[in-house]
Structure 1
Amino acid sequence: MPRSEFLPPSPPEPASALSPGPGAVARLVRSLRGLPSAERWWGPGCAGLPGWFQAESTPPSDATPRFRELYAQVRRGTPVLPAEANRHLYLLVKGMLGDELFGYLEDNQLRLERRGLDTEAVSVDTEGSLEANVAKIRKALEDAAFFRRSVVLVGHSKGAVESLSALAMYPHLRTGVRAVVALQAPYGGSPVAHDLMASPEMRRVVDIALPLLFYGVSRSVEDLSYPRRMDFVRRHPYPVEIPTVSLASSRDSRRSLLWPVANYLRQRYGLASDGLVAAVDAEIPGSRVVRLDDLDHAQAALLGIPGLAPYHPGDLTEAMVALALE
């Protein structure tokens, strides 16, 4: 097969110019005809890249024991939030496909509101580029500063990366931020995003599916690949002076809906992951890190089936915020 057939396609049209229309699914199926067999889909891989930033940055400190104490207290109904918690505005930032998933981050936000805290969801485009969403987070932080509100940022997955990126890029935003809670953030990159973008065949699927089905842009996935994250983090290192807690988790269980992806990452690279993010990539430099080996990527932001989900999103968020404000 000629080499030219393996080159990435031209960038898709802007999402606003695309409309699914009655024949959208049929067009998508036709566009995927002729793809090579599955074993070639995942490209050269990302071996050796996960955790690349750890040798270049301030190591995190382990706060897992303290988190477990706080989480147990939350489960018993014991108040854990400090008195100062009521003085802050809590900005929540959704991750990839967050607008498409029913109940995503809702229980996390509802728990904070039930504790009497002011919350607001930042209106990011969950299938949009990092650059566009950083601009929205910047505006939200500047608006809070205008009204002299201190802020606690709570981001999940890609939303956490965008929150961290806004603070790394714009020093003037940092003075108004009391703390950051980064839940399962692919700070160093995502092996899944990397493998999707590294394979021309899989990149073609993303280039077609995101605009057609979700009005998104494929750059939202590429922004989380290792080359993109390496370039960004080296130009904009995260300021370790901001009180930050990070959740780095993994789960290798067939009871997890993300087990097939987690199994792929473990079999191919030997990675402990939550199904989308390698645990080592979620440990934010200079943060207090909580390391859990029984939580997948969905369970921190979506209510699970009782008995199958080991953590409750609201309980998890309350304990993480209390840890961040200590």
Structure 2
Amino acid sequence: MQDMLTNIWRLTSYISNRFIQFIEDLVHRDANRWTRNFRVTPVLFSSVQCSKGYTDSTSSQPPQIGGENNGISERKVSNNCKEVLVDKRSVVINVNNIFSIIPSILLKSLTLPLFGVQYAWSLGMAPWRYSFLCIRCTQVHIHRIKSRAWKTWHGSSDDIGWLQHAPEMPPVQDGTSRFLELLSDIRNGEHSLPSSFVYLLIPGLFSNHGPLYFVAPKRFFSKMGLACHIAKVNSEASVEHNALELKQYIEEIYWGSGKPVMLLGHSKGGIDAAAALSIYWSDLKDKVAGLALVQSPYGGTPIASDILREGQIGDKATRRIMELIICKIIKGDIRAMEDLTYEKRKEFIMKHKLSLDIPLISFHSEASMAPGVLATLTHIAHAELPSLPLLKFSIDESDSYVESGCQVPVMIPASAAMAVSALNLRLRYGAKSDGLVTCCDAEVPGSVVVRPNMKLDHAWMVYSSKHRNSNEPNACEMCEALLALLVELGDTKREMEQIL
């Protein structure tokens, strides 16, 4: 506070010195102008007298003076009269200048005290103005903190489920009953997937760092003699970047096999596949037979929005941390997470419409929040190590076992993490979710929605685990049921087109 008052005193002293210097320069300039106006009027009264004598001489004869000095006097009178004419003009000009300068001097002499009073008033009011300024700045700062706190607490309350309230969005159809029927048939050994398609599995975000991603479903389909591939895309890239890569990948598969492609995307993989069909539909409409989005945040996810939302408390620090993790450590792109926010999803969906000419399936589930899941903190998954030829010399097992590799248990705290996240979303927003994606945001407008009454978290397809309960289907069987339902929808759609 003392430094602040010192700075104010220095500022006022500087302003007062400049004001006094300005007044002195103004007075000095007026004095110089006054001196210049009077430089040709040294004999004002004599000139006036001579002018009077000149006027008198024109009306009557000048007095005659005897002696030799008479001629000299006449010459002097004539010369003085000439000077009088010149001085008369100069006197008139100088008088006009006098009458023009006097009001200016009087005005300045009257306004100078007013300036002084105004300046003194400004100096007196400076502390009060500074106090009011500090109060105003404090109010603005408090209002900004309140706004940030409210935005942080409010979060994604207005964004969750926006697809159901958006105008001109087609309604969804419920296909859960038919899905459960197909799933029951599959568990009883009835497999109906045709070999006339190529099945492409598209992994989600951070799948490049998960070696178990879609490994079990791919092996499951391959054992049935089906052509199945896992899309080799950079999961940490933006949606538009992956859409172009998927478009090229689909075209390569189609021209190589001559078969249309069935797409199944999990999490961000479903968003990338939908973006590829939305942007490059004219190139892919004859090459793609259907799309199934499994637990995909088609409308957005509150997790990404709450982390990257601008204007909330700690937004810049949080963004720097995410950029450090995604860009520096994982070597990805921060836009991969930005594209999953509600703001980006709204912008993309309004700009690129997803065609309804192909069958679409939306699958979502709800994570279990039971105390037992929260307390375990681990899920025992089984990772498969690559086959090593040297193992033949160290173990006495068949070659088929060695070539297939061996499985080792891996402790993955996925279920507990998803349960905690689902509990947070339920308590904060009152929304059901699988831990990362709310159920309402996973429903694509115009699609057939599958809502199984099963407690499955977002990572149920990521890891491969042994059955703790043989009555529950695994990820491979559920993927097959989804694709089988997708094939049926395609057949039904073609029959309706033929009838029409």
TM category (shorter chain) comes to 0.7 to 0.9
3-state SS of paired residue (1:154): strand
Q: Which residue of 1 aligns with 2:37?
A: none
Higher mean C-alpha displacement, 263-272 vs 123-132: 123-132
Aligned to 2:476: 314
Range moving further from structure 2, 206-215 or 312-321 = 206-215
Change in 2 beyond 3 A, CA 1:94/1:277: same
Q: Note the C-alpha offset of 1:301.
A: 3.2
Rounded Cα–Cα distance in structure 1 between residues aligned with 2:255 and 2:235: 26
CA contact (8 A) 1:95 1:158 kept: yes
Q: Which residue of 2 aligns with 1:249?
A: 365
Q: Confirm whether residue 134 of structure 1 aligns to residue 134 of structure 2.
A: no
C-alpha displacement of 1:111: 1.7
State how far apart, in whole Å, the 2-side matches of 1:308 and 1:262 are: 23
* Number of aligned residues: 288
Matched with 1:158 is: 268
SS at match of 1:87: coil
The corresponding residue for 2:55 is none
Moved more, 272-281 or 135-144: 135-144
Taking the TM superposition and a 5 Å limit, the aligned residue runs for 1:1-326 are 44-55=154-165, 56=167, 57-81=169-193, 85-147=194-256, 148-172=258-282, 173-198=284-309, 199=312, 200=315, 201-254=317-370, 255=373, 256-257=415-416, 258-293=418-453, 294-304=455-465, 306-307=467-468, 310-326=472-488
* Amino acid across the alignment from 2:178: R
Given that 1:43 and 1:195 are in contact with CA atoms closer than 8 Å, whether structure 2 keeps it comes out as no
Q: Which range moved further: 306-315 or 288-297?
A: 306-315
CA distance in structure 2 between the aligned counterparts of 1:41 and 1:186, rounded to whole angstroms: 22
* TM, length-normalised to structure 1: 0.82
Structure 1 residues 249-281: Cα deviation after superposition (integer angstroms, max 9, x where no partner): 112324232111111111110010000001111
CA distance in 2, matches of 1:242, 1:137: 17
* Structure 2 letter corresponding to 1:290: V
Report the counterpart of residue 15 of structure 1 in structure 2: none
Q: Deviations over 1:262-308 (max 9, x none)?
A: 11111110010000001111111211111134111000332245327
Equivalent-residue separation in structure 2 for 1:114 and 1:245 (angstroms): 25
Residue 36 of structure 1 corresponds to none
Q: Give the residue type in structure 2 aligned to 1:215.
A: K
Q: Deviation at 1:217?
A: 1.5
Q: How far apart in 2 are the matches of 1:101 and 1:267?
A: 30
Aligned amino acid, residue 356 of structure 2 = V
The answer to whether the Cα contact below 8 Å between 1:67 and 1:323 also exists between their aligned partners in 2 is: yes
Higher relative contact order (CA 8 A, sep 6+): 1
Q: Deviations over 1:212-240 (max 9, x none)?
A: 22111111101000000000001112111
* Amino acid corresponding to residue 317 of structure 1 in structure 2: C
Residues in 1 aligned to 2:262 and 2:234: alpha-carbon distance in whole angstroms? 20
Q: Tell me the distance in 2 between the aligned counterparts of 1:282 and 1:156.
A: 11
Identity of aligned residues (%): 32
| CA distance, structure 2, for counterparts of residue 300 and residue 66 of structure 1 | 21
Cα distance, 1:120–1:292 mapped onto 2, change above 3 Å: same
Whole-Å Cα distance in 2 between the matches of residues 176 and 102 of structure 1? Answer: 29
- How far did 1:79 drift? 2.0
| Counterparts of 1:63 and 1:118, CA distance in 2 | 26
**Which structure has the larger Rg over C-alpha atoms?**
2
2: CA distance, partners of 1:220 / 1:43: 25
The alignment yields a C-alpha RMSD, in angstroms, of 2.3
CA distance in 2: counterparts of 1:42 and 1:298, whole angstroms = 27
Q: Residues 115-143 of structure 1, C-alpha deviation per residue, up to 9 Å, x if partnerless?
A: 21111222111111112111110101222
Q: 1:236 to 1:313 in 2, by over 3 A?
A: same
Unaligned runs of 5+ in 2: 1-137, 142-148, 374-414, 489-500
Q: CA deviation at 1:242?
A: 0.9
Change in CA separation of 1:121 and 1:185 when aligned onto 2, cut-off 3 Å: same
Q: Aligned-pair distance for 1:100?
A: 1.0
CA distance in 2, matches of 1:96, 1:265: 20
Within 2, Cα distance between the matches of 1:308 and 1:99? 30
Q: What is the SS of the residue equivalent to 1:179? A: strand
Counterpart-to-counterpart distance in 2, 1:238 and 1:139: 18
- For 2:332, the aligned partner's letter is G
1:40 and 1:307 mapped to 2: Cα distance? 44
Unaligned 5+ runs, structure 1: 5-38
Equivalent position SS for 2:343: helix
Q: What's the offset of the Cα at 1:99?
A: 1.4
TM-score by length of 2: 0.55
Give a deviation string over 1:162-196, Cα, whole Å, max 9, x none: 00111011122122111111111100001111111
